[in-house]
Structure 1
Amino acid sequence: MTADTPNERHDVSLDLSATMRTFATGICVLTTFAEVEGHRRHDAVTVRSFASVSLEPPLVSLAVRRDSDILGVLLAAEVWAVSILDVAAVDLAQALDGDQEARARALLTCAASPGDRTGALVLDAPGWLECALHDRHDTGDHTVLIGEVLATGGRHRRPPLVSVNGRLRALSEA
């Protein structure tokens, strides 16, 4: 067997989605809000693309589809919270992957409170962060948001929830 030359590799079809499904990613919930007729309307969405960018200053990134209905709300509010989920939140993660109406119903069922620094909902989760918009980059079919971390917290209870091979799973040491 010989190694592929660069020209031979171009003949292979590109299936980024299938390949990336093999990479385990943590599951988070992104929350933000809009001021509507004098009161706050919270929204949330499941996120699989979340990462630490810098410790000094404290920055994180997340990618949001450019055609998603929550992106405009995020950019207007310029603040959000990210709650890192554990295995007990499988149903919530699935519900918050739906349309805006389904997400609103799911938010009514979860334990959450407005964050002290942003007002975005912080879920009862093993880890959470409150962030303010630091920068944004429109790239491909997503907008990458860079958030300055304003507050953090949480506590470990159960194994983290991850996505791998298209399914939500518990991460264990086994």
Structure 2
Amino acid sequence: MNVDLRATMRTFATGVTVVTTYVDRPEGRRHDAVTVNSLSSVSLEPPLVAIGLRHASPFLADVLESRVFAVSILDVGAADLAGAFAARRDQRAAALSSLSATPGAATGALVIDSPGWLECVYHQQVAFGDHTLVVGEVVAAGVQERRPPLIFLHGSYHALAQRAVPLLPEAIC
């Protein structure tokens, strides 16, 4: 059976994040950042999140070397930022040089001014198919009231038009 997973998953709305990490080299610290929409909370106790990265990704190699990463959850004003960090590494380096971000106090990975952010320490990795899930333990986090979140759907960025009605507690799985 030929399954077109990409076409089907394009109908699933996800949030958009920029994930950052770094490696220390003799010439100094080199930061990198990538746009990721495969973020999942996998445990509340301990607090764990997972990101999915291609096996061949140089960014994955950096995360596995540094053993830290930060996740900045983007709002509707950050579509250009998301596009800049969805590019090749050399193009991301240019965008990174003008990025308004600060090293996180807990990990040193860059945290972008955004509605929500997480600093994570490597916990585990699991390879599946053509991607590796990197699970990080959340060691610091923050939120601030901002514009609506940036959403990725049907291959492009969108704004949430209105806030959703909260689910009743018994409806949550």
Look up the match of 2:70: 81
**Equivalent of residue 162 in structure 1, options 128, 133, 151:** 151
Structure 1 segments of 4 or more deviating over 2 A? none
Look at both structures and tell me which one has the larger radius of gyration over its CA atoms.
1
What is the alpha-carbon distance in structure 1 between the residues aligned to residue 65 and residue 136 of structure 2? 14
What's the secondary structure of 2:62's corresponding residue? helix
Q: CA RMSD in A?
A: 1.1
> TM-score under structure 2 normalisation?
0.91
Question: What is the distance in 2 between the residues matched to 1:167 and 1:75?
Answer: 29
Q: Deviations over 1:52-86 (max 9, x none)?
A: 11111100011001111111111000000000000
- Secondary structure (helix, strand or coil) at the match of 2:91 reads helix
1:172 corresponds to which residue? 161
Of 60, 74, 80, the match for 2:49: 60
Matched AA of 1:154: V
Q: Which residue of 2 aligns with 1:3?
A: none
Match status 1:26 vs 2:15: yes
Q: How does 1:101-112 map to 2 (within 5 A)?
A: 101-112=90-101
How big is the shift at 1:111? 1.1
TM-superposed CA distance for 1:109, in Å, is 2.1
Matches within 5 A, 1:107-118: 107-118=96-107
Extract unaligned runs of 5+ from structure 1. Answer: 1-9
Aligned amino acid, residue 64 of structure 1: L
Counterpart residue identity of residue 97, structure 2:
L
What displacement does 1:110 show? 2.0
One-letter amino acid of the structure 1 residue matched with residue 120 of structure 2? C
Percent identical residues:
53
Equivalent-residue separation in structure 1 for 2:157 and 2:145 (angstroms): 19
Per-residue Cα deviation, 1:88-132 (whole angstroms, up to 9, x for no partner): 110110010111111111112221000000000000111000000
State how far apart, in whole Å, the 2-side matches of 1:86 and 1:170 are: 8
